[in-house]
Structure 1
Amino acid sequence: MTSNLDPDARNSYRLITLAARLVQRRQDDALAHLGLTRAAVIALEGLAPGPLNQEQLADAIRVQSQTLGRILTRLEAAGHITRTRQATDRRQLKVELTEAGRTALESARHAEINAYPDDPSIGWKVLQDELTKFVSALPANRHPEVLPFVAPDHRTRRPHTPKTGGRRGPGEELAQEPQSDAQPARAVDPERKD
C-alpha cells in the first residue's frame, strides 16, 4: 500500500470496516435467540455436506483444531453434533451433525438472511465482485493464512503451519467464541464488542 493513498480508497477502507462491524452486530443479535454464535454457525456449515474429523473441519473453515474444540464442545452439549472415535484411528473423532444441528443450522441461515438489509437497490453481485478484487489485491507478502472465507464445500487441504508467538491467524478470529456462557459472538472478531 502506498502512503499517498487516494482519499476515496481511504474512505472505502473505513466503510468496509464499518460495514463489517454492523453486519457482525446484526448477525449476533439475529443468532442470540437460537443460542448460537457466528463461529458455531460456521462450524455447522462446515459439517453440512457430511461428517469430518476435527482436523478436516478445522482445515475446511480455516481455524486451528484446538480453537475449534471449544466450539464443538458447546455444540455437542447443545445436541447439535456428535463426536465419535474413529475405528481406524482411535485418536481421531468423527464429527457429525445431528438432526437438531441441521434444524439449528437452517434456523441460523434464515436468521442471518433476515439480518441483512432488504434493499433491492443494493447490487450484491457487484459488491461481492468488488470485495473479491479488494481481497485479491492485498499485498503478496501478507500472512499466508489471510484468505477470504472459503465456503465449506471447497474442502481443499492446506498445509499445517504452526502459529508463533501466541498470535491467532484470521481464520481463527473467525471461529473464536467469546469466553462467556451467554454466547453471542461474531464473524471476524468474536470477542470484539465495538
Structure 2
Amino acid sequence: MLSDAGFGADLDLAIQALKAPALAATEDISRTESPEYTVGRLLDSLEEAGTDDNLLADLEWFYQPLLDHSRRPIALHREHARNPARFVNLVSLMYPPDPGTCAASGDGESADEETTDNAASSRASSAAWTVLREWRTPLPGSIDGHLPTTEDMLRWVESVREKLTASGRARVLPRVLGVLPRQVGRGCVTTRRR
C-alpha cells in the first residue's frame, strides 16, 4: 500500500495513474499544482515497494522531461548498467547512423527510421543526453546492486560495441565509451591512455 506515502492507493492504481499519459490519456498533467513532486513521490513509492526495475525505468524515461531537475532516474540507470541494449537505445536517440551505413541509407525496415516530428525527436535526444550525462552509478555490468567484475564490465562494453556497430554508429564508440581511438581496424578499436 502507498498509504504510508500519503497517496492512499495501492500499487496497481499508482502504476495505472503513471501509465495513463503514456497511453495517450486526455488528462493534462501540467494542470496539477506540482506534477514534478506528485509524480516523483509516486515513483519513489513504487521503488520502495519493490516494483520491477524494467517497469519503473520505463516510467522514469517517460517522465524524464518533467522530472529533469527534481528526481534522478535511478531505476533507469540500473537498467542501463544491467542491459547494454537499453543504453544503446538512448545513444541511438542522440546520434544518427554513420553516413554510408545501411542504417543511414534508409534501405528496408529499421528501428532507426527518422520521425517526421523533429520537435519530438529533439526532445527525445535532449532527454537521452540528460539521462546519460547524469549516470554515475551503478557501474556498467552491475546486476542487482552488486559491483561488476572486470569480466562483467568487459562483456557490457563489448555488447555495446557490437550493438552500436550493428546499428551503424561505430563512429560514436569513442565518445560514448569514453576512450580515445588510436587505431580502428579489423573490427576492433584499440585505445591509448589519456
TM range (shorter): under 0.3
TM-score, normalising length: structure 1:
0.28
**Greater share of residues in helix:** 2
